[in-house]
Structure 1
């Protein structure tokens, strides 16, 4: 196999969390007079840091965001994750089959990543291989998170491949010099059609890409 390590994004690649986060963000934006659609959020916020999302809402609002805005967002989403979160179809079977090293690198806080992986019964696969942008204070689309993950895992950039579902994440991987495969969904197909990377729609097909 060409690669020795797979670096997975978490939200939208391992766990189906994007809709939960986006709907919560839309609901909370309404409380400060900002109306967002799910399509807008997916197109403009996917893969970006929470600080970026909050700053956009702040810029559009006539009032200052409450001091507890982020804390409330975290509380609402964490509760929803515990009760509603589902794994991406086929991810369990894929991880059981993979014979090379792998890890997860996410813009989210470490406790969120651990909660999500625990909820979908995958924490045992990643427990000591979790990389959070909050640990290094650098968020995608900057490449530092992926560079940090590869270095810590002990692999050269050319030995790794990144699995992403967001244009911002793809941008981060490419900026770092990584090979990257795009996981297609109904929200990113248009954007990914503009990016010259291999793409796949089913986790069953990732095995084939890895073997090429």
Structure 2
């Protein structure tokens, strides 16, 4: 029997294969402003980063403030791209269908984005009522607040929960909060997770066995 009583999933890159779509949109918009960003490099450097951090980076590259409507336009463009291209992480639906303990999602994205992507990928019914967004509390990874809030709301202590993450900032947030954290490494381009995560796995169909 697993020692864990609750699973806290990150969303992007763990439940849904969205990060390459979102970063692609961001790079395109940044390059229209003269940022001259490379997609492959940005996919590595921006993975798991708070959106405010990404905007600051772009602003520095173009040496001026971003347009006031930049984030609003980004949300419109990404939502359109998600509707056309988003897919669930392979095997994740089978995982949540077979979990016998409570679980939830805790993500850096706005709740409307989380809900949209879960709905498109037919995962929303599994997480309805158990969606936690950093935007709600205005605290972002690597701060642990999002995971602490999720655990407390779900009715568990950090040591009773397991976090599933695919970014180094998420892994560090979980560890800082006192959680065990399994690193999902399918898109761990820099091999960052293994030294810091409690365990790592590279295919979602391996998760139930690890529990």
Q: Give the TM interval when normalised to the shorter protein.
A: over 0.9
C-alpha contact 2:183 2:194 (8 A) present in aligned 1? no
* Corresponding residue of 2:27: 26
1:88 correspondence with 2:89: yes
Please say if residues 165 and 188 of structure 1, whose CA atoms lie closer than 8 Å, have aligned partners that are also in contact: no
Partner of residue 156, structure 1: 157
1:146 aligns to what SS in structure 2?
A: helix
Please tell me whether the aligned partners of residues 33 and 62 of structure 1 are also in contact (alpha carbons under 8 angstroms): no
**Deviating more after overlay: 106-115 vs 178-187:** 178-187
User: 2:143 matched to which residue of 1?
Assistant: 142
**2:186–2:203 contact (8 Å) kept in structure 1:** no
More deviation, 184-193/135-144: 184-193
CA drift of 1:118 comes to 0.2
Distance (whole Å) between structure 1 residues aligned to residue 3 and residue 38 of structure 2: 41
SS in structure 2 of the partner of residue 46 of structure 1? coil
Deviates more, 1:197-206 or 1:130-139: 197-206
By how many angstroms is 1:189 displaced?
Answer: 5.1
Correspondence 1:25-104 to 2 at 5 A: 25-104=26-105
Residue 194 of structure 1 deviates from its aligned partner by 3.4
**Is contact 2:25-2:74 (8 Å) kept?**
yes
Question: Which residue number in structure 2 is paired with residue 188 of structure 1?
Answer: 189
Q: Take 2:41 and 2:94, find their aligned partners in 1: how far apart are those partners?
A: 33
What displacement does 1:62 show?
2.8
Matched, 1:207 2:208: yes
Q: In 1, are the aligned partners of 2:182 and 2:197 still within 8 Å (CA)?
A: no
**Distance in 1, Cα, partners of 2:134 & 2:210:** 27
Deviating beyond 4 angstroms after TM superposition, the runs of 4 or more aligned structure 1 residues are: none
1:175-211 per-residue CA deviation (whole Å, 9 max, x = no partner) reads 101000000124435212432531111111101111x
Give the distance between the partners of 2:197 and 2:68, measured in 1 at CA.
Answer: 41
Range with greater deviation from structure 2 (198-207 or 103-112)? 198-207
Unaligned runs of 5+ in 2: none
CA contact under 8 A between 1:13 and 1:88: conserved in structure 2? Answer: yes
Report deviation, 1:74.
0.3
> What secondary structure sits across from 2:182 in the alignment?
strand
Cα shift at 1:83: 1.3
State the Cα distance separating 1:60 from its structure 2 match. Answer: 1.4
In the alignment, the residues of structure 1 paired with residue 190 and residue 15 of structure 2 have an alpha-carbon distance, to the nearest angstrom, of: 18
Paired with 2:99 and 2:208, the residues of 1 have a C-alpha distance of 8
TM-score (norm. length: structure 1): 0.95
* Structure 1 residues 95 and 179, CA gap change in structure 2 (3 angstroms): same
Determine the C-alpha separation between the residues in 2 that align with 1:196 and 1:52.
23
